[in-house]
Amino acid sequence: MKLQARLFFALCIVFMACKKEKQEQGTLLITFNNVVNGASLSLNTSSYTNSAGEAFTVSTFKYYISNITLTRLDNSQLQLPDGYYLVDESKPASKTIRIPAPKGEYRGFSFLVGVDSTRNVSGAQTDALDPVHGMFWSWNSGYIMARMEGTSPASGAAGQALTFHIGGFKGPYNAVRRVTLVSPISLTVNAERKPEVTVKADLYTWFSNPFQVKFQQTSTIHVPGKDAWRISENYSNMFRITDVTDL
């Protein structure tokens, strides 16, 4: 009887601990605001100019956000469970992602732009990683990490097309990039408070920093390699926190 009582008491403690842990979960919202050199991104209608002075329009703009890590106030890192999100300018709802996060105070976060190597070698998958989104090449080449399409008078491709499908997850031309952002104020996450962070993603940097890309010379990228790697180096610099709202 004593043994049964002890077991019951132990189970109660475990149950209460699990319940408490569940109650101490919160949500962090991240909204991506896609722009071009500070101007709002408008698909198919607005014209923009790259750093080489070449005009262009944008018809498609998508990128993966994954492997999110929170940074505590003491700079220690908290790796969150696997999460893969496809930010698609043509789908406004996709630009805000809801991240389950433990209760706590955080000074920022980091994430991968792209899909990690493990998922790249796992074949076509579901949800955000479903090939239906047009972001998967093959088991060999894996996922397209980021995709931009449009037109430019400077392009020598048919129809003056711009087609930048950036991928590659191994070797010297790995296009997966980790981005770290620091919030101007601490992010308090708990059951009652859901901070929303607005992150500006500036497409202008794809073709300017640190490598200038001229459409007259490069208007199409469809395979992993040096050109794709350079674009990935550029777009790793496109993210900035512009606003934090404590909901």
Express each pLDDT in 95-124 by its tens digit.
999 999 999 999 999 999 999 988 888 776
Q: What does the pLDDT read at residue 191? A: 86
Could you read off the pLDDT of 174-201 as tens digits, one per residue?
999 999 999 999 999 998 889 999 999 9
Distance CA 214, CA 51 (A): 8
Nearest CA-CA partner of 110 in 192, 230, 168, 28:
28
pLDDT of residue 6: 55
CA dist 91 and 83 (Å) reads: 19
The model's pLDDT over 58-103, given as tens digits with 9 standing for 90+, comes to 999 999 999 999 999 999 999 998 899 999 999 999 999 999 999 9
> What pLDDT was estimated at residue 168?
94
**Rounded percentage of the chain residues whose pLDDT exceeds 90:** 79
Confidence of residue 138 (pLDDT cuts 50, 70, 90): confident
What residue spans define the domains of the chain?
A: 26-245
98: which strand partners?
29
Q: Residue range 130-146: average pLDDT?
A: 89
Q: Is 219 left (phi over 0), alpha (psi -120 to 50) or beta?
A: alpha
Residue percentage of the chain with pLDDT more than 70: 89
The dihedral formed by the CA atoms of 137, 142, 148 and 150, expressed in degrees to the nearest 10: -20
**What is residue 28's predicted lDDT score, i.e. its pLDDT?**
95
Q: Burial level of 246, CB count in 10 A (0-12/13-18/19+)?
A: exposed
Query: Residue 33 and residue 245: Cα distance in Å, rounded?
Result: 14
Q: What mean pLDDT comes out for the span 206-219?
A: 97
Chain-wide mean pLDDT for the chain? 91
